[in-house]
């Protein structure tokens, strides 16, 4: 039987319509959420991600600003800019696009961002809160994946979630979010032995490695939910995932496509986090 396709673009539109209304309400309360995105250098993929983020903000009524810095920006220069954004009361969310040029240590920049404005959910304080089950800003791609699974009323509790990939941005935090939802979580990565044997045990298989079509039907248990986080370019220039959709779709119960899958949900969760940051910061401002 063919799998149900979880269209991230449709779910994203639904969430964005809801947020549009929420923003109209906030505006009446005098709260106008604002996101500032910082990009260093000219990486084309990063530039297109940043453009998509600011366009999404505009479309629903979040103020957005992009700060473009040259590739030879020093770590100290970037630290100074982030510190001034921390102090700026019109900025509720700060996002520094990764990767950064090699003269800038990413961890230094991430730790400079105020945890109150950390809409990416990358600051160690934010991650610590997520790890201990506290409310905080959840990283956008993992949070979007949880929302996609929940949107189909797929049970998570007690299910075996297998994550392939262990990046700080996706693999590690997505496993943690599913653990917080009472799943049993296994992480696989480049040094994992017998990968296929493990992925075949997954009720929910999440793949975030960046290797075109590495997951074929033989890696997937009949009826599994398959989430593809991969963004790869084929020879013809078109985007495709880490999952071989044509091969896996007949075996899975649910599957996410690439494009129009996880990607649009990532940006949607960034919008969500920015609104959340604005609410919390404005609340704090009014109390003090």
188 near ligand GUN (CB under 6 A): no
Half-sphere exposure of 179 (CA within 13 A, CB side): 14
- Closest distance between ligand GUN and the C-beta of residue 95, in Å? 5
Q: Would residue 236 show up in a list of annotated catalytic residues for this protein? A: no
The angle at the Cα of 163, spanning 162 to 164, to the nearest 5 degrees, equals 120
Cβ atoms 75, 105 nearer than 8 A? yes
Instruction: Please say which residue, 46 or 247, places its beta carbon nearer to ligand GUN.
Output: 46
Distance CA 275, CA 280 (A): 9
- Closest distance between ligand GUN and the C-beta of residue 98, in Å? 4
Q: Secondary structure of the chain: what % helix, strand, coil (to 5)?
A: 45, 15, 40
- Closest distance between ligand GUN and the C-beta of residue 151, in Å? 20
Q: Would residue 176 show up in a list of annotated catalytic residues for this protein? A: no
Read off the DSSP letter of residue 215: B
- Closest distance between ligand GUN and the C-beta of residue 203, in Å? 26
User: Of these residues, 118, 120, 203, 244, which one is catalytic?
Assistant: 120
Contact positions with ligand GUN (CB under 6 A) in 121-180: 140, 169
Q: Would residue 97 show up in a list of annotated catalytic residues for this protein? A: yes
6 near ligand GUN (CB under 6 A): no
Contact positions with ligand GUN (CB under 6 A) in 63-122: 95-98, 120
Distance CA 177, CA 260 (A): 22
Judged by CB under 6 A, the number of residues near ligand GUN is 7
Cβ atoms 3, 217 nearer than 8 A? no
Residues with active-site annotation: 53, 97, 120
Residues within the interface to ligand GUN (CB under 6 A): 95-98, 120, 140, 169
């Amino acid at each position: 039987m063919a799998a149900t396709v979880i269209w991230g673009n449709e779910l994203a539109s639904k969430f964005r319509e809801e947020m549009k209304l929420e923003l109209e309400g906030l505006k009446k309360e005098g709260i106008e959420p604002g996101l500032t995105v910082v990009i260093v250098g000219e990486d084309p993929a990063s530039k297109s991600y940043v453009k998509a983020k600011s366009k999404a903000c505009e479309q629903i009524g979040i103020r957005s600003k992009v700060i473009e810095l040259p590739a030879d920006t020093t770590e100290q220069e970037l630290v100074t800019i982030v510190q001034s954004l921390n102090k700026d009361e019109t900025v509720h969310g700060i996002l520094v696009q990764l990767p950064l040029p090699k003269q800038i240590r990413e961890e230094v920049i991430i730790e400079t961002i105020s945890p109150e404005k950390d809409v990416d959910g990358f600051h160690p304080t934010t991650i610590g809160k997520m790890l201990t089950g506290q409310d905080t800003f959840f990283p956008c791609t993992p949070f979007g994946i949880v929302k996609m699974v929940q949107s189909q009323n797929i049970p998570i509790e007690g299910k075996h979630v297998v994550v392939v990939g262990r990046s700080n941005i996706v693999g590690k935090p997505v496993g943690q979010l599913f653990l917080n939802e009472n799943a049993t979580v296994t992480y696989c990565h480049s040094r994992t032995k017998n990968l296929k044997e493990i992925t075949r045990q997954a009720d929910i298989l999440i793949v975030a490695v960046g290797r075109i079509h590495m997951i074929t039907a033989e890696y997937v248990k009949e009826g599994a939910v398959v989430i593809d986080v991969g963004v790869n370019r084929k020879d013809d220039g078109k985007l495709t995932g880490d999952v071989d959709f044509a091969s896996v779709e007949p075996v899975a119960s649910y599957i996410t496509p690439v494009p129009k899958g996880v990607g649009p949900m990532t940006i949607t969760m960034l919008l969500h986090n920015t609104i959340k940051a604005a609410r919390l910061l404005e609340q704090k401002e009014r109390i003090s």
